[in-house]
Amino acid sequence: MTNPPPTAQQIPSARVHHGDTVNDPYAWLAEKDNPETIAYLEAENAYTEEATGGLADLREQIFTEIKDRTQETDLSVPVLHKGWWHYSRTVEGQQYAIHCRCRASGDVPPQTEGGPLPGEEILLDGNALAEGHDFFSLGALDVSPDGRLLAYSTDFAGNERFTLRVKDLATGSDLDDEVPDTSYGSAWSLDGSTLYYLTVDDAWRPHKVWRHRIGTAASDDVVIFEEPDEKFWVGLGATRSERFVLIEASSKLTSEALAIDAADPDSAPRVIRPRKAGVEYSVEHQYTREIDRFLIVHNDADCGGGVNFAVSAAPVDRPADWQILIEHRDDTRVLDVDAFAEHLVVSLRRDGLSGLRVYQVAADGSLDSGADIEFAEPIYSVGSGDNAEYDTHSYRLGYTSLVTPSTVYDYDLNTAELVLRKQQPVLGGYDPERYEQHREWAIAEDGTRVPISILCLRDTPRDGSAPALIYGYGSYEASMDPSFVIPRLSLVDRGIVFAIAHIRGGGELGRRWYDDGKMLHKKNTFTDFVACARQLASSGWTSAERLVAQGGSAGGLLMGAVANLAPDAFAGIHAAVPFVDALNSILDPSLPLTVVEWEEWGDPLHDPEVYAYMKSYTPYENVEAKDYPAILVETSLNDTRVLYHEPAKWVARLRATATGDRQLLLKTEMGAGHGGRSGRYDAWRQRAFALAWIIDVVGAPAEPLK
C-alpha cells in the first residue's frame, strides 16, 4: 500500500436517552445527500481496490471457476397449473432469467435441459426489462387464474419500491394499468378482473392493501385494509385452492389473518380470528365435497397450541372456531402446512433438521397417523417446492445437503414414491465423494450444546493446520440449514473447512432456540458463535490463526459483536450489509423497519433496561483500542434494510480506535440494495471478491488442490 486509509472527520453529535449522553462523531455519515458522505464512501472504495489489487488475478480465477461450474443455459423443472407448464430458463451470457409457459399434454414434466420448450410463450424476459439499468429486481410475477394476464413489478434502484404493471398474455403488450411505489407480492380475484397489491409507509413497512380494477387508473384504487400498528407487517397472497385472497398482519409475537372471497372481488376482508397478544397463526384453505375449512398453524395454548405450534381446523363459515387437528409436540416445530384435495403436507423441524410429513385426509376431514418423507444423508435440508395444483397426488419438493446439489423431486402422495426430476448440474467433473460432511457440537458458556455443520475435503487433517470459514446468522428464527452452493467449492477445493454455526436466535432446534437468542437473551447468539469457533480450533479442524468468520445483515451484527467479544478467535471477519449500529437504529422510529423490530431486539427508546443491554453489545458503540482481526465490510448505498451508514460508521470508528496493523476494508456498491448486485454475472464477481479475500487471509493456496 502506498496510500493511507481514508479518515472520516469527527463532528460532535450528542444522543441522550434514559439519562445517558453519548457522543456519535460519525452520525453525519447518515446524510446520504451530503457530497462529503459520498466522497468518503468513494475514497473507501478506492482504498479497498488498492489494498486488494494483488488479488485481482485470484478474483478472476474464482469468477471463472464459478462460471465454469454453472450450467449457464438451463431450465427449471416445469410446474403444472391449469393446463400449462410454467418454468424459467437462463441463457449463457445473459444476466437474468426468462419466465415462460407452454401448453401441457400430460402430468409428467417435459425435459429440463437445453433451450426453449416446444410451444413456449415468454411471459417476461428479465434481460429485456433490465436493458439500460445497472440494477433490476422483480417484486411480483403473478399470472391471473384464467391465464390471460400477468401482474409483474420492477425495481431498478435496489430500494425495494416497485412499479406494478399488467401484461396481456394474448398480445404480449402491457395494459395501461400502472401503479408506482408498490411492495412485494400481489393476488388476483378468481375472474382476473381485480388485482390486489401492497404499499409501504415512510418506514418501508408494508401496511396497506389496495384493490385495483383492471382497466382503471391507479388513482381510482381503493384501500381495503390498513394496518395502523407500526409493529405489524402486512403480507398478501392467494390460497392454493384460489378460493381466497389472504391478508396477514404480523408482528414478531402476534398475527392476524383476513380472507377475501376471491369469487367476489368487492367483498370486504373477513377476519379469521382477531389478534391476541402473543398468539401467532397462519392460514391455508382446504375443501372437498364434504369439507370446506381453514387450516391454522398456531401457538395458542388455549386452542391446543404450544411453543412449537400445532395445526387446527375451522369451518369457513366459523373461522374462529379452532379444533385441534395435529397436536403440539415438544420435540417438533411445525412450520407450515400445504393443503391438497386429499392430503396435507406439514413442514417441520426435528432434531436440528428440516422435514416433511404427509397425512391422508379422510372424507370427514380426519387424518391418518402420517408418514415422514425419509432421506439417507445425516445432515440435509428439505422443503416444499412449487405446488400450484390443488387437486393432485404429486407433491413437488426440494432437497439439498452440503455435498448434494439442489435436487427437485416429485413425491407421489398415494404411493410414497420419490421421483427425481432434476439435480442442479455442476460442471467440471464434480465428484461428491471428494468431500465429507460432519456434525460437531460446541458447549456454550451456559452449558447449552450448539450444533455445527461441517464440509471439507475427504481426509482433511485434524491437527489444526487446515484453514477454515465459519458462517453464522442467529436471528428471526431463521434456520441456516446445510445446502449446496457452487461458489463454496472454490474455498473447499483449496483445503478450507466450511462450517455453519447453528446458534441460538435461529430456529434450528425449535421455537425455544429462537427465544433464547433474542431480546434480553441476545448475547447467547454471540457467545454461542464464539464457542463454535473455539470448538473448531480445539477439536483440530483449524486454528484461530487460520479461521475467518462470515455473516450478513443480522449476521453482520453477529460479526461486529464477536469482533469485540473475541478478536483473538479469528484471523479475519467478512461482514456483509452488517447491522452494526443496532442501538442507534432501533432508537429511531423514523428509520425503515425500526418499530417492527422492537419485538426482536427490544424497545430501547422506552425501556431503560433494553437500552442498557443493547448498548452493552451493539458493535459500533463497543469498539475498543485493541487488535482486531482483518475485516472486510460490504454494503450497498440503496439498502433499505440495513442503511449504508451503519457499516460506514463502524469502519470509521474502527480506523480511529483499533490497534495493530490488520486490514480494515469497506466496499460500498453505489447502485444496489440489500442483496447486492442483481445480475448473476455481477453477483458472481461480487462473490469472487469476498472469496479471494478470505483465501488470502486464511493463507490457503491460490490454486485448488488436486
468-509: pLDDT as tens digits: 999 999 999 999 999 999 999 999 999 999 999 999 999 999
Residue in 88, 347, 553, 678 annotated catalytic: 553
502 is catalytic: no
674 is catalytic: yes
The values of phi and psi at residue 353, to 5°, are -125, 150
pLDDT digits (tens, 9 = 90+) for 677-704: 888 999 999 999 999 999 999 999 999 9
Residue in 207, 328, 574, 674 annotated catalytic: 674
pLDDT digits (tens, 9 = 90+) for 166-185: 999 999 999 999 999 999 99
Which cell is 16 given?
Answer: 441522550
Question: What residues are paired with 443 via a beta bridge?
Answer: 449
Residue 114 has pLDDT above 80, yes or no: no
Which cell is 277 given?
Answer: 397478544
Mean pLDDT across 252-261: 97
| Cβ-contact 482, 381 below 8 angstroms | yes
Residue 593 has pLDDT above 90, yes or no: no
Return the biggest CA–CA distance within the chain: 78
Query: If we measure between CA atoms, which residue out of 232, 158, 155, 156 comes closest to residue 201?
Result: 232
Count of CB atoms within 10 A of residue 107's CB?
12
Mode of pairing for the β-strands spanning 435-443 and 449-457: antiparallel
Q: Rounded to an integer, what distance in angstroms lies between the CA atom of residue 481 and that of residue 197?
A: 32
Q: Rounded to an integer, what distance in angstroms lies between the CA atom of residue 546 and that of residue 207?
A: 47
Q: 197: exposed, middle or buried (C-beta count within 10 Å: 0-12, 13-18, 19+)? A: buried
Label residue 592 by pLDDT band (50, 70, 90): confident
CB half-sphere exposure, 575, CA atoms < 13 A: 31
- How many residues are present in the chain? 706
pLDDT digits (tens, 9 = 90+) for 129-159: 999 999 999 999 999 999 999 999 999 999 9
Residue type (1 letter), 441: W
Which cell is 375 given?
Answer: 432421506
Label residue 2 by pLDDT band (50, 70, 90): low
Distances in Å between the Cα of 459 and the Cα atoms of 376, 405, 411, 705 are: 22, 21, 35, 13
Question: What residues are paired with 80 via a beta bridge?
Answer: 85
3-state secondary structure of 697: helix
Residue 110 has pLDDT above 90, yes or no: no
Mean pLDDT across 570-588: 97
Q: Calculate the CA 628 to chain-centre distance.
A: 29
In sequence order, what are the residues at sequence separation of 6 or more whose Cβ sits closer than 8 angstroms to the Cβ of residue 100?
86, 87, 88, 89, 116, 117, 120, 121, 122, 123
Q: 429: exposed, middle or buried (C-beta count within 10 Å: 0-12, 13-18, 19+)? A: exposed
- The angle that helices 56-69 and 680-698 make with each other, rounded to 10 degrees, is 130
Mean pLDDT across 27-37: 97
pTM of the predicted structure, to 2 decimals? 0.95
Residue in 639, 645, 678, 696 annotated catalytic: 639
| Cβ-contact 476, 554 below 8 angstroms | yes
Residue 1 has pLDDT above 70, yes or no: no
Count of CB atoms within 10 A of residue 609's CB?
11
| Cβ-contact 567, 626 below 8 angstroms | yes
pLDDT in the model for residue 674? 84
Which cell is 180 given?
Answer: 408506482
pLDDT in the model for residue 112? 65
| Cβ-contact 668, 686 below 8 angstroms | no
Q: 385: exposed, middle or buried (C-beta count within 10 Å: 0-12, 13-18, 19+)? A: middle
| Cβ-contact 477, 506 below 8 angstroms | yes
pLDDT digits (tens, 9 = 90+) for 345-385: 999 999 999 999 999 999 999 999 999 999 999 999 999 99
3-state secondary structure 9-52: CCCCCEEEECCEEEECCCHHHHCCCCHHHHHHHHHHHHHHHHHC
Q: Rounded to an integer, what distance in angstroms lies between the CA atom of residue 553 and that of residue 182?
A: 23
Coarse DSSP helix, strand, coil percentages of the chain, rounded to the nearest 5 percent? 25, 35, 45
Which cell is 509 given?
Answer: 432446534
Query: If we measure between CA atoms, which residue out of 62, 68, 49, 48 comes closest to residue 701?
Result: 62
Residue 115 has pLDDT above 80, yes or no: no
pLDDT digits (tens, 9 = 90+) for 604-621: 999 999 999 999 999 999
Judged by phi (left if over 0) then psi (alpha if -120 to 50, else beta), residue 474 lies in left
Residue 295 has pLDDT above 70, yes or no: yes
pLDDT in the model for residue 648? 98
pLDDT in the model for residue 673? 84
Question: What residues are paired with 86 via a beta bridge?
Answer: 79, 101
Which cell is 212 given?
Answer: 385495483
Burial 625-640 (b: 16+ CB within 10 A, else e): eeebbbbbbbbbbbbb
Residue 652 has pLDDT above 90, yes or no: yes
pLDDT in the model for residue 341? 95
Burial 341-378 (b: 16+ CB within 10 A, else e): bbbbbbbbbbebbbbbbbbebeeebebeeeeebebeee
pLDDT in the model for residue 672? 83
In sequence order, what are the residues at sequence separation of 6 or more whose Cβ sits closer than 8 angstroms to the Cβ of residue 45?
666, 667, 668, 670
